[in-house]
A and B are shown apart, each in its own frame.
Chain A
Amino acid sequence: MQDIWQSFELAWTLIVNLNPALSEIVLLSLRVSLTATLIACLVGMPLGALLGIRHFRGKWAVTVVLNTFMGMPPVVLGLLFYMVLSASGPLGWLQLLYTPGAMILVQVFLILPIVTALTKQIIEDAWVEYQPLFQSLCVSRSGAVKTMLWDTRTSLLTVSLAGFARAISEVGAVIVVGGNINHLTRVMTTAIALETSKGDLAMALALGMVLLMIALTVNAMVFSARQRLPV
């Protein structure tokens, strides 16, 4: 119990003092996970919308695979990308391994299935309502996708938050492709893993609390932005 209380105190001191080592780690966490979320949304949302309104053979198979990949263990994806990005791997010449770029890349692929599958579901449901109208107005498919992505924007914002939450909280993928290198690829979750392995449980828990505070701030900002969205 004492440890837990000590963690609260530590978390508070860390935040109030704006500990520079901590700010560096927090900023990198945000950079990596926000960039990954942005890319995953830019790719996954149009893709999900297309999957939602188009009918083609084997659509059920695509859906099942996509839904399965939502449960991809981060460490497995991390290993896969390690092998690909390793100097002896096929993309070794990119020299991305152990850089923030590799961490962004792996997180994009981690959350892409989540963003795509959830968007597909939302658009599919909306399509039932919109289809007769679009057909009578002869709206093109790309026009329909654009309109529906805009009209379902509040739901899609939640989708992006789900993706972000998955990205910022995972440790398995970034620790393998990032290497948890001090001042280069150390993020919140890998720092927590490190403090745990040093037996500094109070510090580890305090960092966890800081991470939650950051997620809370991001969510609150998005929520308030959502309230102001033009209807």
Chain B
Amino acid sequence: MKPLLIKLLITLTLSAPLHSTYAGESILVQSTTSTANSGLYDFILPLFEQQTNIKVNVVAVGTGQAIRNARNCDADVLLVHAKSSEEKFVEEGYGVQRLDLMYNDFVIVGPQNDPADINEADNATDALSKIAAGKALFASRGDNSGTHKKEVSLWQATSIDPTTDSGRWYRETGSGMGATLNVSVGMNAYTLTDRATWISFNNKQQHKILLEGDSTLFNQYGVILVNEKKCPDTNSHAGQKFIDWMTSPEGQQRIAQFTLDDQQLFYPNAAPQ
């Protein structure tokens, strides 16, 4: 065989790092997708990594899966947005303590012509009722994520069970926020999304925000250190440093400075230490 080809093969395969080649400390953060996909981590983490020499590895999955992975001890820090699930996680001993980190809000997006007239709706409950009454297409995450949990709670307030119409006007994608927005745009459906993902989403086409500003659409992000009593291999020391920094005035200020298209995506609200 060609010596060049053999050389190339050997170089490539032998140089494959089996473990992380990073020499210093590192932590693993199981995170919700909106924070990662919007570019927040790319904006704030370099500063933290430079100051502390701790490398932060982020696995971005839905909140439901992030919590499940953290339960399996495959995380040092959990950063998600489903308060009751987070509190349960801590109560069961998997997390040390849950801290508020920042917030933004959910919005309902839909086709520009707004077939169910939710633009006229008084609040989220009213909007969802209109969608159900008009049997307008609605794309749901259907994946037990933080956004999906919020959506379920909003439907509960309307006393409508949309899942009885699942597969008809109510479409459960079972996918991440971005994938669901792609579906929503593709089939002209309404969707509940967090504002950060929507602002950073590049395939909006004719879709736009049709309902926002309702207090029930509040979206709180929390941060939790995984408990070393349950997970002995957790890097608590570095994980705690990360949480301390994120909730410090400096970290909070950095979160507030992150903008896309001149819009602030996350509003810091950690309690002063």
Q: Residues of A at under 8 Å CB distance from B?
A: 27, 30-32, 34-35, 38, 86-89, 92, 95-101, 104, 179-182, 184, 194, 196-201, 221-222, 224-225, 228-229
Number of A-B contacts (CB under 8 A): 106
Name 27 interchain pairs, CB-CB below 8 A, sorted by A.
A32-B16, A86-B69, A86-B74, A88-B73, A95-B19, A99-B18, A101-B16, A101-B17, A101-B18, A104-B16, A104-B18, A179-B57, A180-B60, A182-B42, A184-B20, A194-B37, A197-B33, A197-B37, A198-B37, A198-B200, A198-B202, A199-B178, A199-B185, A199-B204, A200-B202, A221-B5, A225-B1
Are the CB atoms of A198 and B178 closer together than 8 Å? yes
Q: Residues of B at under 8 Å CB distance from A?
A: 1-2, 5, 8-9, 12-13, 15-20, 22, 28, 33, 37, 42, 57-60, 69, 71-74, 176-179, 181-182, 185, 200-204, 231, 233
For residue B17, which residues in chain A have a CB less than 8 angstroms away from its CB? 99-101
Are the CB atoms of A34 and B13 closer together than 8 Å? yes
Looking across the interface, which residue of chain A has its beta carbon closest to that of B180?
A197
Are the CB atoms of A200 and B19 closer together than 8 Å? no
Q: How far apart are B227's CB and chain A's nearest CB, in angstroms?
A: 13
- How far apart are the CA atoms of A171 and B34 in the complex, in Å? 21
Q: How far apart are A78's CB and chain B's nearest CB, in angstroms?
A: 13
Most B Cβ at <10 Å: residue of A27, A38, A198: A198
For residue B179, which residues in chain A have a CB less than 8 angstroms away from its CB? 196-197
Given contacts A95-B19, A199-B202, A229-B1, are A34 and B57 in contact (CB under 8 A)?
Answer: no
Are the CB atoms of A180 and B202 closer together than 8 Å? no
Given contacts A87-B231, A104-B16, are A34 and B203 in contact (CB under 8 A)?
Answer: no
- How far apart are the CA atoms of A34 and B19 in the complex, in Å? 17
For residue A224, which residues in chain B have a CB less than 8 angstroms away from its CB? 2
Given contacts A101-B19, A194-B37, are A31 and B73 in contact (CB under 8 A)?
Answer: no
Looking across the interface, which residue of chain B has its beta carbon closest to that of A182?
B58
Are the CB atoms of B13 and A38 closer together than 8 Å? yes
Looking across the interface, which residue of chain B has its beta carbon closest to that of A225?
B2
Are the CB atoms of B12 and A197 closer together than 8 Å? no
Are the CB atoms of B202 and A181 closer together than 8 Å? no
- How far apart are the CA atoms of A182 and B46 in the complex, in Å? 12
Q: Which 9 A-B pairs have the closest CB atoms?
A: A197-B178, A199-B203, A101-B18, A87-B73, A179-B59, A199-B202, A199-B201, A31-B16, A225-B2
Q: How far apart are A169's CB and chain B's nearest CB, in angstroms?
A: 18
